[in-house]
Amino acid sequence: MKTLTTTDELSKFCAECANHPYVTVDTEFLRERTYYSQLCLIQLAFPGEGDQNAALIDPLVEGLDLAPLYELFRNETVVKVFHAARQDLEIFFTEGDTLPKPFFDTQIAAMVCGFGEQVGYETLVRQIAKASIDKSSRFTDWSRRPLSDKQQAYALADVTHLRVIYEFLAKELARTNRTEWVEEEVAVLMDPATYVVEPTEAWKRLKTRTNSRKFLSIVKELAEFREILARDRNIPRNRIFKDDALMELAATRPKNLGDLGKSRLLLRDARKGEIADGILAAIARGEACPPEDMPMVPEQKQRRNGTESLSDLLRVLLKAKAEEYGVAQKLIATASDLDDLANGDDDGVQALRGWRHKVFGADALRLREGKIALSATPQGVKLVTL
Does 141 lie in the same domain as 216? no
Encode pLDDT of 308-351 as tens digits: 899 999 999 999 999 999 999 999 999 999 999 999 999 989 99
Angle at Cα 112 formed by Cα 182 and Cα 341, nearest 5°?
90
Tell me if 299 is assigned to some domain.
no
Does 187 lie in the same domain as 220? no
Does 268 lie in the same domain as 156? no
Answer whether 93's CB lies under 8 Å from 189's CB: no
Task: Name the more confident of 208 and 78.
Answer: 78
Does 254 lie in the same domain as 227? yes
Answer whether 254's CB lies under 8 Å from 277's CB: no
Does 284 lie in the same domain as 189? no
- Listed residues 170, 195, 220: the one ending a domain: 195
Over residues 125-136, the mean pLDDT reads 91
Tell me if 368 is assigned to some domain.
yes
pLDDT of residue 161: 97
Does 279 lie in the same domain as 170? no
Residue 135 has pLDDT above 70, yes or no: yes
CA neighbours closer than 13 Å in the CB half-sphere of residue 243: 8
For the four alpha carbons of 132, 136, 142 and 147, in that order, the dihedral sign comes to negative
Domain span at 379: 307-385
Tell me if 298 is assigned to some domain.
no
Confidence of residue 171 (pLDDT cuts 50, 70, 90): very high
Enter the pTM of the model.
0.90
- Sheet bearing 79-82, strands edge to edge: 2-4, 54-57, 38-45, 22-30, 79-82, 103-105
Confidence of residue 306 (pLDDT cuts 50, 70, 90): low
Tell me if 300 is assigned to some domain.
no
Read off the CATH number of the domain in which 273 is found: 1.10.150.80
Structural domains counted in the chain = 3
Does 59 lie in the same domain as 130? yes
Over residues 232-253, the mean pLDDT reads 96
> Which residue type sits at 169?
L
